[in-house]
Structure 1
Amino acid sequence: MASSTRWIRDLPAGAADEIDAALQAVRRKGLAWHQITRADFPLPTLDALFEDIAEELENGCGMVKLRGVPVARYDEAALQQIYFGIGTHVGAPVFQNRRGELMRGIRDEGGDLGQRYGQIEGKGDGKPFLSSYARTLSNGRLRFHTDRTDVVSLLCVRQAKSGGVSKICSSAAVHNAFLQRRPDLLEVMFQDFWRSRLGEESDKAETVYPLPIFGVRDGRFTSHYSLTYIEAAELVPGVPKLTAAQREAIDMLMALSEELCFEMTLAPGDIQFLNSHVTYHGRTPFEDDKAAGQDRLLLRLWLSMPNNRALPAGHEVLWGSIDAGVRRGGIAQVT
């Protein structure tokens, strides 16, 4: 895959002007970025491109890099409007946390991330256990994981001084490697692993649920995995601990993901789309230089896809609906 270009798409000539015209249209209406609908942001000559992207994500390789968004022309507020408008043409944006967040700026926020975004005190090493959400907003490494959405999308606005490279692995390839090398552990991956909703979904680690890492329905594969959520659940009294076989299976999953992954560098103006059902993604640590304008900034959307696959029974606990072609995923809202 690293030598293939099937996952790369470029905005055609004239697309920048069409995007700018759509931006001016929503500004004339006085719409905030989160109020924009597909009808508000017309991109008529790009519809075939967006349909092709959706097809590649669901029935192709599961990832796409779209190049050429003219980010240098605009400030961050305008880029939010543009990116959300483009997102509505690919899928339906869904909430990324319990407070109604539909778009998140991914940058190093530093400081007391755990207190702001979730942590568990009193671990054996004396350090607080940071939620997945807190880790995302640091400059540290992110382990391979999936997000709770059909497709996770990132628009690169600025690169870091160094690092911050995307790492991507096919979870279906990981499944096949298990099948070839350790079929006994493959069976374990279809068993329940307890996870905590700490961070995006809850401010308490005690809200837990069981779910297998691998699942199949109607011949279509899905994987949902974050070691951080599993580790957080293990810190909750009364939650079953991982068995020796489960620990061995997780170790193998992480090793295979490293073995089978490749790195994707995102340049300003690139949009990365990843199908969460068939890919894992991670990140290398990064270093910013704000004075030089090299402070990493990505804008993130979670998209429910109109052509999404049916999911196995039991996945309702995470996705809400498991039928194909329905809006699902994201984080339930606190009322």
Structure 2
Amino acid sequence: MAFIAPIAGPCVWRGTEIAASNRWIRPMDRAVSRALIAAADRAREAGIEWSAVTRDQFQVPGLDELCAEAREELENGSGMAKLTGLDFAGLDPRSQRHLWFGLGHHLGTIVSQSNSGLLMKAIQDEGYDVAASHGVTVDENGKPFLSSYARTLTNGPLRFHTDRCDVVGLFCIGQAAEGGVSKLCSTGAVHNEILKRRPDLLEILYQPVPRTRFGEEKGGETSIYLLPIFGQRDGRLTSHYSRTYIENAQQLPQAPRLTPQQVEALALLDSVAAELAFEMVLAPGEIQLLNNHVIYHARTAFENDPATGRVRSMLRLWFAMPNSRALPEDHAVLWGRVDRGAIRGGIAIAA
């Protein structure tokens, strides 16, 4: 068996530790909040679509410093950052997307979330029928099998996973009446716990696993690619994981079959992630940023109450980060470019 060393550094933490810490929280100064809202309102009132907002239109004193702190925490700290302090009550709902897109330009390069070039996605319950239009097949029992993208747009739970970008950002617009709790865990801590318990299974997780591009690229439901769960380059960890894409590959006859050891390793990863995670709920106006290379995230099921206005809604952006880590060469099959600071990730736009 190949020697695998434990991951070290501030990105390795247990949920009980991080839940009691504010090291990943970055408060927004009131002056920054006011200036952001003013910039968003000016853009909207000028008739500029949110998707046409530029970085220059959000030259807010103090914003670049705040974003630089967040980038540092994301890449070299805990792997997470939460921006708080935005005067959400004072933000015109018509300016929400303008503000988030303008702020996003100062965090990194915004990349596409769909093959049609979608740059910002409202993450909310669109109902089963609508979600199915984003990717659905039938499993071996004849039951509908939703793509990961489609599952995000229901009120059901989401398993631990990563997104196809360096950093995913969620701007909280509203919360559900019940549930919708975020679960976050350190990929490095999961890696180390598996190393302690079952080093033989950790070695398997460094080996290629068949996946599909189901619900993402056009024709992706029949496209198989191989990628390990864990990889390292220059001593830095990366993990890309979504059980749905692995399960969907197993529905296709052309995909290599998972071995019993691979099935056992994936089950252990899921179990350890649940053990080491912590739970949190974003308040309206807060922004959650997660480095997908070192953080797994999940969500509990939720129930909305439209009569009282308690409806869960997030605006999601995907980022390529200027200070991102280099990735192993075999990760190019998913990421495109693997060099440090590359503009990468997202979903290729269909021709």
C-alpha distance 146-67 of structure 1, shift in aligned 2 (>3 A) = same
Match of 2:157 in 1: 141
Matches within 5 A, 1:177-192: 177-192=193-208
- CA shift for structure 1 position 72: 2.7
- Give the TM-score, by structure 2 length: 0.92
1:240 pairs, out of 241, 247, 256, with 256
Moved over 6 A (4+): none
1:83 pairs, out of 92, 100, 119, with 100
Structure 1 residue 274 and structure 2 residue 303: aligned?
no
Q: Is the 8 A contact 1:71 1:79 kept in 2?
A: no
Separation in structure 2 between the aligned mates of residue 332 and residue 204 of structure 1, nearest angstrom: 11
Structure 1 stretch displaced more, 186-195 or 65-74: 65-74
2:246 pairs, out of 223, 230, 239, with 230
Counterpart of 2:117, as a letter, is G
Match of 1:71 in 2: 88
Write out per-residue CA displacement over residues 266-293 of structure 1, whole angstroms, 9 at most, x where no aligned residue: 0111100000000000000000001110
- CA shift for structure 1 position 22: 1.4
- CA shift for structure 1 position 31: 2.0
- CA shift for structure 1 position 77: 3.4
Counterpart of 1:39, as a letter, is D
1:42 pairs, out of 59, 68, 78, with 59
Matches within 5 A, 1:44-59: 44-59=61-76
Q: Is the 8 A contact 2:44 2:94 kept in 1?
A: no
C-alpha distance 84-101 of structure 1, shift in aligned 2 (>3 A) = same
Match of 1:20 in 2: 37
Name the SS for the 2:318 alignment partner.
strand
- CA shift for structure 1 position 37: 1.9
Name the SS for the 1:77 alignment partner.
helix
Q: Is the 8 A contact 2:190 2:273 kept in 1?
A: yes
Matches within 5 A, 1:198-213: 198-213=214-229
- CA shift for structure 1 position 90: 0.7
Separation in structure 2 between the aligned mates of residue 6 and residue 322 of structure 1, nearest angstrom: 29
Write out per-residue CA displacement over residues 46-91 of structure 1, whole angstroms, 9 at most, x where no aligned residue: 2111100000000000001111223333444310010111111111
Name the SS for the 1:205 alignment partner.
helix
Match of 2:22 in 1: 5
Q: Which stretches in structure 2 are left out of the alignment for 5+ residues?
A: 1-17
Structure 1 stretch displaced more, 126-135 or 40-49: 40-49
- CA shift for structure 1 position 179: 1.4
Separation in structure 2 between the aligned mates of residue 200 and residue 41 of structure 1, nearest angstrom: 31
Q: Which stretches in structure 1 are left out of the alignment for 5+ residues?
A: none
Name the SS for the 1:112 alignment partner.
helix
- Give the TM-score, by structure 1 length: 0.97
Matches within 5 A, 1:124-203: 124-203=140-219
Match of 2:12 in 1: none
Q: Is the 8 A contact 2:174 2:312 kept in 1?
A: yes
Q: Is the 8 A contact 1:118 1:203 kept in 2?
A: no
Write out per-residue CA displacement over residues 140-179 of structure 1, whole angstroms, 9 at most, x where no aligned residue: 0000000000000101111100100100011111111111
2:232 pairs, out of 206, 213, 216, with 216
Match of 2:347 in 1: 331
1:111 pairs, out of 112, 125, 128, with 128
Q: Is the 8 A contact 1:64 1:273 kept in 2?
A: yes
Structure 1 stretch displaced more, 319-328 or 32-41: 32-41
Counterpart of 2:170, as a letter, is L
Match of 1:255 in 2: 271
Separation in structure 2 between the aligned mates of residue 201 and residue 165 of structure 1, nearest angstrom: 29
Q: Over aligned residue pairs, what C-alpha RMSD do you find?
A: 1.3
- CA shift for structure 1 position 126: 2.0
Q: Is the 8 A contact 2:324 2:341 kept in 1?
A: yes
Q: Is the 8 A contact 2:108 2:320 kept in 1?
A: yes
